[in-house]
Structure 1
Amino acid sequence: MSDHGHAHGPGGHAGHSHGVSADADRRWLAAALSLITVFMAAEVVVGILAGSLALLSDAAHMLTDAASIVLALVAMRLAARPARGGFTYGLKRAEILSAQVNGLTLLLLGAWLAYEAVRRLIAPPHVAGGPMLATALTGIVVNVAAAWCISKANRTSLNVEGAYQHVLNDLFAFIGTAVAALVVLLTGFERADPIATLVVVALMVKAGYGLLRDSGRIFLEAAPADVDPDALGDRLVARPDVVEVHDLHVWQITSGQAALSAHILVEPGGDCHAVRRALEDVLHHDYGITHTTLQVDHASERVLQVAPPGDPDSAGDPAHCEAPHGPVHRGEPHPH
Structure 2
Amino acid sequence: MLIGFVLTFGFMIAEVVGGLLSGSLALIADAGHMLTDSAALALAWAGFHFGRKASDDKRTFGYLRLEVLAGFINAVTLFVLVGWILWEAVQRLMSPHEILTGPMLAVAVLGLLVNVGVFLALQRGDTDHVNIKGASLHVLGDLLGSIAAIAAAIIIWLTGWTPIDPILSVLLSALILRSAWMLLKNSLQILIEGAPPDIDVESIGPALCRQVEGLAGIEHLHVWSITSGKTAATMDITLVPDADPRLVVPAVKQVLRDDYGIAHSTIEIDFGDAATAPCPITRPDAEVA
> What range is the shorter-chain TM-score in?
0.7 to 0.9
Amino acid at match of 1:261: T
Change (3 A) 1:200 1:227: same
Choose which of 235, 246, 254 in structure 2 pairs with 1:273.
246
Q: 2: distance between equivalents of 1:132 and 1:140?
A: 12
Please state if 1:138 is matched with 2:110: yes
Amino acid at match of 2:130: T
Please state if 1:326 is matched with 2:278: no
Deviation at 1:197, TM superposition (A): 0.7
Change (3 A) 1:47 1:186: closer
Please state if 1:156 is matched with 2:139: no
The TM-score with structure 1 as length reference comes to: 0.70
Choose which of 203, 209, 232 in structure 2 pairs with 1:259.
232
Deviation at 1:34, TM superposition (A): 4.0
Please state if 1:52 is matched with 2:22: yes
Please state if 1:215 is matched with 2:176: no
Q: What residue is the counterpart of 1:283 in the other structure?
A: 256
Q: What residue is the counterpart of 1:100 in the other structure?
A: 72
Choose which of 225, 228, 240 in structure 1 pairs with 2:213.
240
Tell me, what secondary structure is at the counterpart of 1:124?
Answer: coil
> Quick check: 1:221–1:252 contact (8 Å CA) kept in 2?
yes
Q: 1: distance between equivalents of 2:56 and 2:79?
A: 35
Q: 2: distance between equivalents of 1:86 and 1:62?
A: 37
Q: What residue is the counterpart of 1:332 in the other structure?
A: none
Tell me, what secondary structure is at the counterpart of 1:200?
Answer: helix
Choose which of 42, 66, 89 in structure 1 pairs with 2:61.
89
Please state if 1:179 is matched with 2:151: yes
Please state if 1:206 is matched with 2:167: no
Deviation at 1:62, TM superposition (A): 8.6
Q: 1: distance between equivalents of 2:277 and 2:223?
A: 28
* Structure 2 unaligned regions, length at least 5: none
| Structure with the bigger percentage of helix | 2
Amino acid at match of 1:146: V
Amino acid at match of 2:153: A
Tell me, what secondary structure is at the counterpart of 1:246?
Answer: strand
Deviation at 1:36, TM superposition (A): 4.8
> Quick check: 1:243–1:266 contact (8 Å CA) kept in 2?
yes
Q: 2: distance between equivalents of 1:326 and 1:266?
A: 20
Deviation at 1:171, TM superposition (A): 3.8
Which structure is richer in relative contact order (CA contacts within 8 A, separation 6 or more)?
1
Change (3 A) 1:277 1:143: same
Amino acid at match of 1:86: K
Change (3 A) 1:74 1:230: closer
Pick the structure with greater CA Rg.
1
Q: What does the per-residue CA deviation read over 1:116-171, in whole Å, with 9 as the maximum and x for residues that have no partner?
A: 2111111111223333222211211112322443564786349x957974x56654
Change (3 A) 1:303 1:112: same
Change (3 A) 1:89 1:325: farther
Amino acid at match of 2:222: H
Tell me, what secondary structure is at the counterpart of 1:265?
Answer: strand
> Quick check: 1:83–1:91 contact (8 Å CA) kept in 2?
yes
Deviation at 1:198, TM superposition (A): 0.6
Amino acid at match of 2:268: Q
Q: What residue is the counterpart of 1:195 in the other structure?
A: 167
Q: 1: distance between equivalents of 2:92 and 2:23?
A: 13
Tell me, what secondary structure is at the counterpart of 1:190?
Answer: coil
> Aligned runs of 1:221-232 on 2, under 5 Å?
221-232=193-204
Tell me, what secondary structure is at the counterpart of 1:249?
Answer: strand
> Quick check: 1:102–1:162 contact (8 Å CA) kept in 2?
no
Amino acid at match of 1:156: V
Amino acid at match of 1:245: I
Q: What does the per-residue CA deviation read over 1:55-90, in whole Å, with 9 as the maximum and x for residues that have no partner?
A: 995797599479746676567655543111221101
Tell me, what secondary structure is at the counterpart of 1:224?
Answer: coil
Q: What does the per-residue CA deviation read over 1:232-290, in whole Å, with 9 as the maximum and x for residues that have no partner?
A: 12222334322110011111111111111111101111122211122122111111111
> Quick check: 1:223–1:250 contact (8 Å CA) kept in 2?
yes
Change (3 A) 1:104 1:47: closer
Q: 2: distance between equivalents of 1:267 and 1:244?
A: 9
Q: 1: distance between equivalents of 2:47 and 2:244?
A: 44
Q: 2: distance between equivalents of 1:153 and 1:225?
A: 24
> Aligned runs of 1:307-318 on 2, under 5 Å?
none
Amino acid at match of 2:261: G
> Quick check: 1:249–1:262 contact (8 Å CA) kept in 2?
yes
> Quick check: 1:147–1:164 contact (8 Å CA) kept in 2?
no
